[in-house]
Amino acid sequence: MALWIQISPGSDKPIYVQIVEQISEAVAKNELATGDKLPAVRKLAAELVINPNTVARAYTVLEQAKLVTTKTGSGTFVSDPKLYSRDAADINMLAERMDTLITRGLNLGLKGGDLAAMFRDRTNKFVGKQKGEEKKK
Amino acid sequence: MALWIQISPGSDKPIYVQIVEQISEAVAKNELATGDKLPAVRKLAAELVINPNTVARAYTVLEQAKLVTTKTGSGTFVSDPKLYSRDAADINMLAERMDTLITRGLNLGLKGGDLAAMFRDRTNKFVGKQKGEEKKK
DNA sequence: AAAAGCGTATTAGTATTCTTAGTACATTAT
DNA sequence: ATAATGTACTAAGAATACTAATACGCTTTT
């Protein structure tokens, strides 16, 4: 598989965050499936011309987010979503971030209904390829 | 009007962000109405026992977000939402943040529909007090 | 005109974050 | 064994972020 990750030096986001986001999105869209192996730390670092530590940090974040499982000596693999044990803290974090987003949307003059509709539309763009579902023909 | 803003030293968020968020939320919930004057930079700083520059920074952020209008020498006032000219950049920013949120939700194992429902529910908690609308009895 | 109240600008110091570098270690695969 | 994997640790430098101190200019009030 070709390398889809690419970092933007001009971005305001740290390199390791860029990696985390791109992999997270790929998993959400099921472009990376359960059990898929991520590039080796040193290999990805070489391709991106960055320090291996930076890639390792990204992988650490992904593991703490329960998105991947690492087996030392073997590699880093996409976790099985069925094993996600989302606790209250996860949901609370999500709710908080939603509120911040809603606040911003309302302050931009959008109506609550429009905001919710926009969110649902964007969700559908993901769900088309979501885990356990298939796009309807 | 009493002072509703309170900062938490133990928070992971910078002081000026805490101020921005609390005022933003107050505006979204219409607890602060159009034309309302915010506390003077020095006054609020004195009450919070922080540097006036920190408050000023918060106000600057709020102004760039078009949430308030500042008139040097006079004060800082809540903007008229009808004058919001939300441009493409605003919407794009919002959409991006939505996508990040959706990604996180899906990766937590939530289904698209559940995510959208959760968002809609939380939106309604705001809309009850939203600008131009009244809570139905 | 003076005084008081307001936001702004500039500068600086401190703390934190990010990235790199180098080395070493433990585990797994070949 | 050898190679490949993730991990741990220390160190260092650079960049960024945050807060503070001070001075300035505009507006309102007196």
Which residues of chain A does B107 touch, with a Cβ-Cβ cutoff of 8 Å? 24, 27-28, 65, 67, 81, 84
A11, burial (CB in 10 Å: exposed 0-12, middle 13-18, buried 19+): exposed
| Cβ distance of A102 and B119 shorter than 8 Å | yes
List per-residue pLDDT tens for chain A, 137 residues long: 555 899 998 899 999 999 999 999 999 999 999 999 999 999 999 999 999 999 999 999 999 999 999 999 999 999 987 777 778 989 999 999 999 999 999 999 899 999 999 999 999 998 765 444 443 33
Which residues of chain B does A130 touch, with a Cβ-Cβ cutoff of 8 Å? 106, 111-112
Report if CB A54 to strand D is under 7 Å.
no
